[in-house]
A and B are shown apart, each in its own frame.
Chain A
């Protein structure tokens, strides 16, 4: 015969409300991403102001005689999108307990993210204009640079996952440390799709 209240066994702060349906750590990442979306939103506002609302907006985008490296950025986009697939594969692998596939997926994701970032640096060097060459250049470097900074943060997170992964961390039951950087990485990828479409293609 046992009769007890479960709350008597609990120590520390009150338990999170279970009906939120979202794990507190995932909720934290979601709120972080929401704030990031607002940050990108402010940059996009500046971009659309310069390109559309501004009375002296250039007739062509980018204004003559400048050109964006659309093809190189397209290849870079393909690399980043592919890295999301490998990220997803890595997480699915650790959920199935396939450690080698998980590590391979993480390393591939990291390498592709690094390739994206390095290509962006090379693109900056050869793009042919600088931040002082007009508002269009400012918003170009602002938006792509902001995204590049996020890729760098994502790479740092992925790097930590890889180190922990090679140390034997993560199991099919415990892989939150992979899930959260995965969410962040996909967010970075989503933002790049928007940046690439808005700045380079349209």
Chain B
């Protein structure tokens, strides 16, 4: 439930609700003290009902408002270790060739739950920053304009953050292949598709196969 004191307007609204609720309680108590108790309990249950209803999934997709020039496409790229994947670079390259596009790369600061609980995030953020730098550097080399940031360890939250500031027209989500991807196991791709009304492109990057291919190529070269 949203805090009733999250803003002045919300606090003012809460005050009006309080006045109404206590007017009912006092009036009922004057009639009969037990009736007053009953009204108090009923109002508490109603408040709990509102709370539960607000906590329930809303179901509706969030509409992302387009910002910037009409002919420009804003693409949000979210990737973890797969930022170095050729498949991801290919997908971004295709989008860049398709028309004028602005890219915003988010690298979630992957961390263990325990380290997150104890706020030990420096290492995770540094690693994510390195991945981000690598990605931006590679994009720059091929002439693609991009900027980016380190995101929350939860990819859905990281995307939510980026949506608020970047307003993407499309989201590209890169993961490891099924079976090796924690994000796929947690249903991150589907969650993002359910949450936003923009196209979500899922790019599977098989780093193992990429490393094997590079290893084979080096062996042939030598």
A contact set with B: CB distance below 8 Å:
1-7, 14, 17-19, 22, 26, 29-30, 33, 81, 84, 87-88, 91, 178-179, 182-183, 186-187, 189-190, 193-194, 197, 201-202
Given contacts A1-B143, A19-B157, A186-B8, 17 further A-B contacts (CB under 8 A): A1-B145, A5-B136, A7-B129, A7-B149, A26-B7, A29-B5, A33-B5, A87-B8, A91-B8, A91-B9, A179-B7, A182-B11, A183-B5, A183-B7, A193-B18, A193-B19, A194-B22
Nearest chain A CB to B42's CB is how many angstroms away? 16
Give 22 CB contacts A-B under 8 Å: A4-B136, A14-B125, A17-B152, A17-B157, A18-B161, A19-B152, A26-B6, A26-B7, A30-B5, A33-B5, A84-B15, A91-B9, A179-B8, A183-B5, A187-B11, A190-B14, A194-B22, A197-B26, A201-B26, A201-B30, A202-B26, A202-B36
| Centre residue among B8, B18, B165 by max chain A CB count within 10 A | B8
Q: How far is the CB of B137 from chain A (nearest CB, A)?
A: 7
Closest chain-A Cβ to B113's Cβ sits at a distance in Å of 16
| Cα of A128 to Cα of B124 in the assembled complex, Å | 66
Smallest CB–CB gap between A2 and chain B, Å? 6
User: How far is B152's CA from A14's CA once the two chains are assembled, in angstroms?
Assistant: 12
- Taking residues whose C-beta sits less than 8 angstroms from the other chain, chain B's interface range is 35 or more
User: CB within 8 Å of A: which residues of B?
Assistant: 3, 5-9, 11-12, 14-15, 18-19, 22, 25-26, 29-30, 33, 36, 125, 129, 132-133, 136-137, 139-140, 143-150, 152, 157, 160-161, 164-165
**Can you name the residue of chain B whose Cβ is closest to the Cβ of A10?**
B149
- Given the interface pairs A1-B140, A197-B26, A202-B36, the reply to whether A30 lies near B3 with Cβ below 8 Å is yes
Closest 7 CB pairs of A and B: A186-B11, A182-B8, A3-B140, A3-B136, A197-B22, A18-B161, A88-B12
**Cβ–Cβ < 8 Å partners of B36 in chain A:** 202
Nearest neighbor of A18 in chain B, beta-carbon distance: B161
B-side contacts of A19, CB under 8 Å: 152, 157, 160-161, 164
Chain B residues lying within 8 Å of A182, measured Cβ to Cβ, are 8, 11-12
Instruction: Kindly provide the distance from the CB of A195 to the nearest chain B CB, expressed in whole angstroms.
Output: 10
Among B14, B137, B143, B144, chain A packs the most CB atoms within 10 A around the CB of B14
> Which residues on B sit within 8 Å (CB–CB) of A26?
6-7
CB pair B136 A193 closer than 8 Å: no
